[in-house]
Amino acid sequence: MGAVRIAILAAAAIAAILLAFIVRGMMTGGGDAPQAPAPVAASPMAQVLVAKQDLPVGTRITPAMIGWQPWPVEALNAAFVTDGSVAVPPAEGAEKVVQKAGQVASDALGASPIQAFDGAIVREAIAAGEPVTVRKVIRGGEGGYMSVVLGPGMRAVSVPVSADTAAGGFILPGDRVDVLQSRDAPDGTGRVTETLMRNLRVLAIDQATEPAEASNTMIGGTITLETPASDVEVLVRGKAQGEMVLALRPYTDIGGPVGRGGSAEPQTVRIFRDGEMSEVSVR
């Protein structure tokens, strides 16, 4: 037998012996039998009242917009509204948490939670799947829609309009407008056009806070504007002085500054230089 063949047979034998030792070690596991994983205890769950859809500020809640959702008991907050029950036997101490939250719902709402929230107005935006809490809504008898949607430091002021003075009816709730007025000049030399207020948000047209479905126009006799508290007298004075016109602003101006305007008519400024006087017309 050749030397090469003998070397090959020897290498194969050594490899077979090593493989046998490896297989034996894997089967015995060092003498310890494999352990089955310990069962994981199910986390106790409570039923929490949540929003089924996004609820923007000013939304009037209906029962179809809210519902119950399982929620881990250890993640409960006392402000959450629950039905006071859990899906599985609660762990030690967890039952008190559920009962506390359920008691908050019972005491604060005084009725079945879904019925108690029916007709409530959203004061702070609630995202889909987020718990509905008493703090984020205003229920019947606690305030109205307009007081909810008004921003801090703002006031709702209504002004009379028509299709002619409200951009042909293309102004809708939520749009931004400038308020202008044209009147006789104090010296009787002509008319003065002045921008009274800039970039005011339209809150409502008559008593409608949103347009009809698929409607692009709204024509009413009164428009309610969100106005800084310090500028309310500007609009009140304008109503007393005569007709006002609303100029529709583009949607991109929604984050622009809000405040008083100024005269759109050129003003004459007298300049004295080296004992001589000149007049310059500026806007």
Q: What is the CATH number of domain 45-138?
A: 3.90.1210.10
Q: What is the pLDDT, as a whole number, of residue 54?
A: 94
Q: What is the pLDDT, as a whole number, of residue 140?
A: 63
- The structure's pTM equals 0.54
Q: What is the pLDDT, as a whole number, of residue 151?
A: 83
- Distance of alpha carbon 28 from alpha carbon 107, whole angstroms: 63
Segments in the chain below pLDDT 70: 1-2, 4, 25-42, 85-111, 140-143, 262-269, 279-283
What burial letters (b/e) apply to 128-149, b meaning 16+ CB within 10 Å?
Answer: eeebbbbebbbbeeeeebeebb
How do the domains of the chain map onto residue ranges? 45-138, 151-267
- Distance of alpha carbon 265 from alpha carbon 182, whole angstroms: 10
- Distance of alpha carbon 106 from alpha carbon 44, whole angstroms: 21
Q: What is the pLDDT, as a whole number, of residue 158?
A: 94
Which pLDDT tens digit goes with each residue over 115-152?
888 888 888 889 999 999 988 888 766 667 788 788 88
Q: What is the pLDDT, as a whole number, of residue 264?
A: 46
